[in-house]
Amino acid sequence: MSEVEIDWPWQYSFPPFFTLQPHPETRHKQVAAWKSLILAYCQKTKTYIIDVREATQFSLFNNSAINRKLEHNVIVSILSELQKTGNAAAVDKAKNRWEIYWHTLEEWASMIYEYVSNSGMQNTVLTLYELVHGENSNGEEFNGMQQEVLLKVLKVLERERKCEVIVEDDMQGAKFF
Amino acid sequence: MRRRAGVGAIQKHKLEQEKYKDKGNEIQENQFEQMTKQLEVFKVNLEEFASKHKNEIRKNPEFRRQFQEMCASIGVDPLSSGKGFWSVLGIGDFYYEIAIQIVEVCLATNDKNGGLIGLDELRTRLIKARGQSKQHQEISKDDLLRAAQKLKIFGSGFNVVPMGKGKYMVQSVPGELSMDHSAILQQAEKNQAFISVSYLRRELNWEIERSQKALDHMVDQGLAWIDLQNPQERLYYIPSLFAPVLMLPVNLFFIHYLI
């Protein structure tokens, strides 16, 4: 994974930040700080999927400068908190693989829909590749979006009857209305 | 053969004693009157002085401190008198304004430091939020301490914790801090914001139980964070003493009620 410059908050260099705090109020502040740090990190690095088993590979959960790591079960509990606000979802039952939504699926959906209508691409079939890897969407935040996440976003639009996902053999596409 | 004292002699003695007593009272009263007069004169002079140097008192922190000391020596507290002469002068208002601003700084930094802030950091942040002009900048630590003391009237929510060597911390969450807690803060301050049971044993010669009890209390107050990832032993961190926290910008801008 390529490392981009992250604007780490002060907590990241504060060793006890990596130990879940026993005092409820302190823990509340700690978890809140972790939640916003995770989202900010994923947004900056365009990380759509976090596998908790490989968490130590992310500088996010492993600050080697102070030799502190966030434990597996703590990461899971914080991600579960993010799930409550629609900012994350466990992909497997064991809660190892997580999708991270720094924008909720609904927010992504309206961003993509706005893009499609602004560029007058309604009523034509776009392949999913075109949609998020095409040159047209180069400057858009959803450019490079993970396919699984994209499908979930399109499902939101489908429910709103703003699009239809079309699967044909090896081609996946969508038509917007 | 000794003559026993007659009734007349006793009465005479009694009368003499009463005369002495009266005289004594008279002298005392005179002296008291004299002193009251002197104090009165002093007070008048002080008031005159104060109104003459009103601006100086407001602008110059050293002047302010000396003026406060003069007032204290004759038992006048310009901060507590909201009415009459002193209110016209606005000295009390000056400190009330500072007190309100202290509360605001404490609230704004609470989520970072858990409600405990060093007087130096408090002063830096307060001055920054007061704006550019010179008279807004000249706030001494003495001013802050006086204003912070006034906040005690709101109960245990505000407290000034002496740390020794002229250092103080202002605590803005309820809960008493004992001498042991101040000692821990002092140790943490010179040790990059963290301490441990063995550290306190080494530095202060404290028994394990004593350290543990005090440290647990500080965790319970939200003033200390636990770090379990140090291989040797559990560490306790005080965020309000952690250097990067002191540098953090906080969005605060005061409206000046006065001047």
Residue B223 included in any domain? yes
When scoring B227, B247, B250 by the number of chain A Cβ atoms within 10 A, the one with the most, hence best to mutate, is B227
- Least CB–CB distance from A18: residue in B229, B242, B245: B229
Give me the number of domains chain B comprises: 1
Residue B239 included in any domain? yes
CA distance A20 to chain B (A): 8
| Confidence (pLDDT) at B100 | 82
Residue B193 included in any domain? yes
Residue B236 included in any domain? yes
When scoring B219, B221, B225, B245 by the number of chain A Cβ atoms within 10 A, the one with the most, hence best to mutate, is B225
Q: Which helix (H) or strand (E) holds A99?
A: strand A97-100
Residue B157 included in any domain? no
pLDDT tens-digit profile, chain B (259 residues): 566 667 888 888 888 888 888 888 888 888 888 878 877 777 777 777 777 777 777 777 777 777 777 777 766 666 655 555 555 556 667 777 888 888 888 888 887 887 889 898 999 888 888 876 666 667 888 888 888 887 777 666 788 888 877 888 888 877 777 888 888 999 998 899 999 999 999 999 999 999 999 999 999 988 999 999 999 999 999 998 888 777 777 666 665 544 4
In this prediction, residues A156-173 reach a mean pLDDT of 83
| Confidence (pLDDT) at B231 | 92
Structure-derived torsion over alpha carbons of residues B108, B114, B117, B121, reported in degrees to the nearest 10: -50
Residue of chain A minimizing CA distance to B229: A68
Chain B residue numbers with beta carbons less than 8 Å from the beta carbon of A18 are 227, 229
In this prediction, residues A66-89 reach a mean pLDDT of 94
**How many CB pairs below 8 Å do chains A and B form together?**
49
Note whether A21 and A74 are within 8 A (CB): no
DSSP chain B: -PPPPPHHHHHHHHHHHHHHHHHHHHHHHHHHHHHHHHHHHHHHHHHHHHHHTHHHHHH-HHHHHHHHHHHHHTT--TTT--SHHHHHHTHHHHHHHHHHHHHHHHHHHHHHHSSEEEHHHHHHHHHHHH-SSHHHH---HHHHHHHHHHGGGG-TT-EEEEEETTEEEEE-SSS---HHHHHHHHHHHTTTTEE-HHHHHHHH---HHHHHHHHHHHHHTTS-EEE---SSS-EEE-GGG-HHHHH------PPP---
CB spacing of A22 vs B226 below 8 angstroms: yes
Residue of chain B minimizing CA distance to A29: B111
DSSP A52-70: GGGGGGSGGGEETTTTEE-
* Domain A10-100 indexed as CATH 1.10.3980.10: no
Chain A residue numbers with beta carbons less than 8 Å from the beta carbon of B229 are 15, 18-19, 67-69
Confidence tier at A26 by pLDDT (50, 70, 90): very high
CB spacing of B227 vs A10 below 8 angstroms: no
Each domain of chain A, given as residue ranges in start order, spans: 10-100, 105-176
> DSSP code of A32?
H
Flag whether the ipTM exceeds 0.90. Answer: no
With a cut of 60, say whether residue A134 has pLDDT above it: yes
Average pLDDT over chain A, rounded to an integer: 88
Chain A residues whose C-beta is within 8 A of a chain B C-beta are 10, 13-19, 21-23, 25-26, 29-30, 67-69
Residue B191 included in any domain? yes
| Confidence (pLDDT) at B258 | 46
Q: What fold, for A105-176?
A: Arc Repressor Mutant, subunit A (1.10.10)
- Least CB–CB distance from B225: residue in A21, A67, A69: A21
CB spacing of A14 vs B225 below 8 angstroms: yes
Say whether A105-176 and A10-100 share the same fold.
yes
> DSSP code of A5?
P
CB spacing of B245 vs A69 below 8 angstroms: no
Chain B residue numbers with beta carbons less than 8 Å from the beta carbon of A21 are 225-226
CA distance B58 to chain A (A): 37
Residue pLDDT, tens place only, A81-133: 999 999 999 999 889 999 999 999 999 998 888 888 888 888 888 888 888 88
Residue of chain A minimizing CA distance to B217: A23
CATH number at residue B195: 1.10.10.10
With a cut of 50, say whether residue A149 has pLDDT above it: yes
Residue of chain B minimizing CA distance to A16: B227
CA distance B175 to chain A (A): 15
Chain B residues whose C-beta is within 8 A of a chain A C-beta are 111-112, 114, 194, 219-220, 222, 225-230, 235, 237, 239, 242, 244-245, 248
Range of B188's domain?
177-248
Residue of chain B minimizing CA distance to A19: B227
| Confidence (pLDDT) at B256 | 53
